[in-house]
Amino acid sequence: MRGEELVDTAGTVLLVVGIVALLMPALFPVQQVLYHETRAGTTADGSELRAEGYAVIEYENLSERGREIYVAALRSPDRAYTVPVGQGAPEFPYDGADDLGDVSGQAEFEERRRLTSVVIERPDDADLPPADEPVERLDRERPPREDAADGGETASRNETATESDRSSEQELAQRRQMVAKYDLVTVGQRTPPVTDSGNLLRLGSVLLGTIAIGVGGYFRSRP
């Protein structure tokens, strides 16, 4: 008799635990987050960026919170960093494109990026993580250097190839300098992805609740 009472008690406890677990996602719904991405980068200088309508802010003029978020985004493996709503930085235009609606073309895309981005003017020799995404892309897209010329090719052709390589290296050096100076940060507000830790906890709570109710119901319904 005592064994049956223990089973009934365990079934009741499991039912209660299951109901609470199923209610947890409703009591703590998914909250939107503020995201900050530095993957885009830019190879333009400050004058060009201002002419295009971008807000350019010197790193020293960022708020303390703005600096923390920017550095955290640079250090993130995917160059992105999220914080809860209300814990962002005042200089970032999180709602910059609220009235723009969906984008359908390149022009609309560029407009959205302009409205939701700020350009950080990094100080010279700054002790900051590198902002080298555009140069990394340039290195990958740069055509491979041609093999050494055969003996039958003229010296003038070799000289032309050398000058071309030197010009390419100079252009790359200039782009590196611009990338080291100006960095594009795109921000906004969105629902966290399914792989977010909070969403995974909610999914786990639902699974736990389902299993607990199933097992508890079985214990309670035993003859």
* Every domain of the chain and the residues it spans: 2-130+178-221
Q: Contact 118/92 with Cβ under 8 angstroms?
A: yes
Question: What is the per-residue DSSP string for the chain?
Answer: -HHHHHHHHHHHHHHHHHHHHHHHHHHSPPPPEEEEE-SS-----HHHHHHTT-EEEEGGGS-HHHHHHHHHHHHSTTSEEEEETT-S-TTS-TTTTTTT----SHHHHHHHHHHTEEEEEPPTT-SS----HHHHHHHHHSPPPPPPPPTTS-HHHHHHHHHHHHHHHHHHHHHHHHHHHEEEEEEEEEPPPTTSHHHHHHHHHHHHHHHHHHHHHHHHH--
pLDDT at site 149: 46
pLDDT at site 201: 86
Percentage above 90 pLDDT, the chain = 16
pLDDT at site 157: 53
| Chain-centre distance for alpha carbon 44 | 21
On the CB side of 70, how many CA atoms lie within 13 Å of its CA?
Answer: 31
State how far the Cα of 19 lies from the Cα of 94, in Å rounded to an integer. Answer: 38
| Residues 35-71 pLDDT 10s | 899 877 777 888 888 998 899 999 999 999 999 999 9
Point out the residues of the chain with pLDDT beneath 70: 1-3, 97-105, 126, 131-168, 171-180, 223
